[in-house]
A and B are shown apart, each in its own frame.
Chain A
Amino acid sequence: MQYQKRGGRSITALQPLHLELESGKVAVIFGRSGSGKTTLLSILAGLLHPSEGSVRFGTHDLYAMPDKERSAFRSRNIGYIPQGQSGLAVLRVRENILLPASLAGIPDVAERAGALLEQTGMTALQEAFPHELSGGEMRRMAIARALICKPAAVFADEPTNDLDETNAQQILSMLQSAAREGAAVTIVTHEPFAAAYADVIYRIDNGTIIKEGCTSSVQII
C-alpha cells in the first residue's frame, strides 16, 4: 500500500497482505504508533483507496464501487469508531447517534437508539452536547453511533486511548457484545489488556501484519 503523505512524500504504509475478518468475532490488531494500524483500518472501512489490491465485503468489492455507492454501502454496513473526539458539536448526543441511520435511510430506529443509550449508560446524557461529555462518555456515544445501523462490520481505532482502565474495559466489553450480536469487530490498539477481549490477535509492525502464533505475515483466507 503506497501512501502519499501531505507534502507529497510517498511512503509504503502497508506491505501486501491478505486478511479475512469473521462475523461474530473480535479481531484485535496491536501495533506501535506509526505501524500502519489506522491506514489498515481506513482501507478496510472503505475510507482510503489502497494503491493496489481490493477489499471484499461478502460479494461486494468496496473499491470497485463509485464513491456515492460505496458511501451508501458503508453507511448501512460498516460502523466506524474514530480515534479521539468524534462528536458532531452542533448535534445532541441522541442526534449524533441517530445520524447514521438517517443517512442510511433506516426508519424506526428510535427504539434501538434508546436501547443503545441505555446499554452505553448515556440515557441521562442524550440531550447533552458533545462538549459536555467526558472522554469516556464521548467514546461510548461513538460506539452507540457506530452500532445504530446494526452494521455487519465494526472498526474501532484506538477506542480506549486516553481512558482510565474502568472506562477502557467498559468500551471493550461493549465492542465484544457487538461481536456476540453478529458483527465482525476489528479493534486496533496498543493497549495490551485489549487482548483479553480478542478472538483473534494480530500484530502490525512497519506495515507488515502477523497473526499471533504465526511466524510469517498473515495469509488467512
Chain B
Amino acid sequence: MNIRMLPLRNLLGRPFRTLALLLIAAVMSASVFGGMAASASLQNGLSSLESRLGADIIVLPDDAKAAVDLKNILLQGTPGYFYMERSVQEGIAAVEGVAQTSSQYYLVSANAECCTVQVQIIGFDEETDFSVKPWLKQAYSGQLGENEIIVGAALSTQTGHSLKLYGVECKVVGKLEATGTGLDTAIYTTDNTVRTLIRAAEEKGIHVLSRQSPDDMLSSVYVKVQDGYDIGEVEAKINLTLDGVQAVRTRSVLTGTADKLAVISGSIRLLIVVVWVLVVVILTASFSVMASVRRREFAVLRTLGFSRRQLVRIVMTESSAICFAGAAAGLLIAWIAVYAFGRQLEIRAGLPYLLPDVLHTVVYALTAAAAVWAAGMLASAYSAYGLSHTDAGNILREGD
C-alpha cells in the first residue's frame, strides 16, 4: 500500500464522481482551447489573405456582381469570373498617384481531374505582377512557362503531376501552403495560359467570352499607390476618371470580414470568461459537497496519523489529476472540432480560416490546461482546508 497512490485510488474508487468532474474540466479546457484556436485561426486566415492580396486598390468591372464574385473567390473559394476591356489598365496606370498596375485573369475550370467541383483559375501577368508572385515563390521560384500551373493547398494533386483543363495538359510545378481562404482551392498560372485555356474552351463550345478576343480582356487590375499619396484619393480618382470600372480598396473588400471576425473573436473571449467563471462556481460547489460527504473519510485518515498538510495534498492531488486529465480530454476534443469544423465555418460563414502553427497550438493548449488547473485549485482549496482541520473524534462520533 503506497500512500502516494491514495489520491488515485480515491479517484478510481469513485468512478461516477470522477467522471463528472472530468467532464466539467474537459468542457472548460475545450472551450478555452477551442475558443483561442478558432479565434486565432480566423485572425490568421484574414492576415494571410491580406498579405496575399498585396495591393492597395483592386479595379473590377463596374457591376455589383463582380465585387461579390471577387469576395467569394477570395474568402470562400467559390469560383467566379468577370471581364473588362484590357485598355482599362492603361487608363488606370495614367491616374496620378498610381505606382504600379498588374492585371489578373479569372477562369473557372469546367472539369479538373483533381477535384469533384469546379476550381478557380487565376492568371497573372508575369511581367508586371507584384501581388501573386512574392508568395508563389514559396512553392516555385522559377518563371512559369506556358501551361504550367501552381495549385492551392486544398487541391488533391502534387508537384510533377499534370491536370487537364479544357483538354489542355497543364503541368503542376508547385503546391502552395494553406492560407485558410478560398485561395487554397485555386490554380495559379500566367494570363497567357488562361487565354490558351479560354481558346480551348471556345473550341469545345464553352463560350466564356461573348465575342471578344481573350487578348483584349482581363478580369481585374491590382494597383499599388505611390508613397505619399492617399489610397482613398487615388481610388476616387480612378472611379471618376474611368467609365465602366469600379476601384475598391483592398481593405474594404475585407472590411466586412474583419468586422465579422472582431464580433466573433469578442464573443469567443466572452464565452471563455463566462465558462471559466461557471466552471469555478460548479467545481467549488462540487468540491464543497464532496468535502461534506468525505468528512468522515478524512477524519479516519487523521486518526491514522495523516498530517493536515498530507490531507490537503490528497485533495489537491485529486483535484490536479482530474483537472489535467479533463484538460487533456478537452484539448483533444477541441482540437478535433477546430480542425474538423474549421472548413465548415470557412464555407458557411465566408470567413478565412487558417489553423495556428504548432508553437501557437502548444501555447494555447498550455494556457487552457493552466486555466483548468487554476480553476480546480481555486475550487478545491477551501474544501481542502476544511477537511484538513476537522475534529476527527467528534466527526467519527457524529456519523453514528
Contacts and interface: CB of A to CB of B under 8 A. Distances in A.
Interface of A: 38-39, 41-42, 45, 47-48, 67-68, 70-72, 74-76, 78, 80, 82-91, 95, 98-104, 145, 157, 161-162
Contact of B310 (A71, A88, A91, A157): A71
B1 A98 contact: yes
25 contacts: A41-B393, A42-B392, A42-B394, A45-B393, A47-B303, A47-B392, A48-B394, A67-B307, A68-B309, A71-B305, A71-B307, A75-B305, A75-B306, A76-B305, A80-B304, A83-B396, A85-B399, A90-B10, A90-B12, A90-B13, A99-B304, A102-B2, A103-B3, A103-B305, A157-B396
B396 A82 contact: yes
Interface in B91-122: none
Nearest to A129: B13
B71 interface: no
B397 interface: yes
Contacts of A157: 393, 396-397
Nearest to A91: B9
A99 B303 contact: no
Interface stretch (B49-57, B129-137, B193-201, B293-301): B293-301
A67 B397 contact: no
A88 B303 contact: no
Nearest to B4: A102
A89 B302 CA distance: 15
A83 B400 CA distance: 8
B305 A78 contact: yes
Contacts of A88: 297, 300-301
Contacts of B9: 90-91
A91 B1 CA distance: 9
Interface of B: 1-3, 9-10, 12-14, 296-297, 299-310, 391-394, 396-397, 399-400
B309 A67 contact: yes
Contacts of B299: 82
Interface of B, helix, strand, loop or mixed by DSSP: helix
A42 B400 contact: no
Given A42-B391, A90-B9, A102-B2, A74 B305 contact: yes
A111 to B, nearest CB: 15
Contacts of A80: 303-304
A181 to B, nearest CB: 20
A216 B310 CA distance: 42
A33 B2 CA distance: 37
B393 A86 contact: no
A84 B400 contact: yes
Contacts of A161: 400
A83 to B, nearest CB: 5
Residue among B297, B392, B394, B399 facing the most chain A CB atoms (10 A cut-off): B394
Contacts of A78: 305
Contact of B393 (A48, A95, A100, A145): A48
B307 A68 contact: yes
Of the candidates B296, B297, B307, B392, the one having the most CB atoms from chain A within 10 angstroms of its own CB is B307
B313 to A, nearest CB: 12
A160 to B, nearest CB: 13
A42 B393 contact: yes
A85 B27 CA distance: 37
Given A84-B400, A99-B1, A161-B400, A47 B305 contact: no
Given A86-B300, A88-B297, A99-B3, A72 B307 contact: yes
Given A74-B305, A103-B305, A38 B394 contact: yes
Nearest to A99: B1
B305 A72 contact: yes
Given A67-B309, A84-B400, A103 B304 contact: yes
A80 B304 CA distance: 7
A82 B397 CA distance: 8
Nearest to A73: B305
A104 B305 CA distance: 8
A84 B393 contact: no
Contacts of A90: 9-10, 12-14
A82 B305 CA distance: 13
A176 B396 CA distance: 23
B18 to A, nearest CB: 11
Contacts of B303: 45, 47, 80, 82, 86
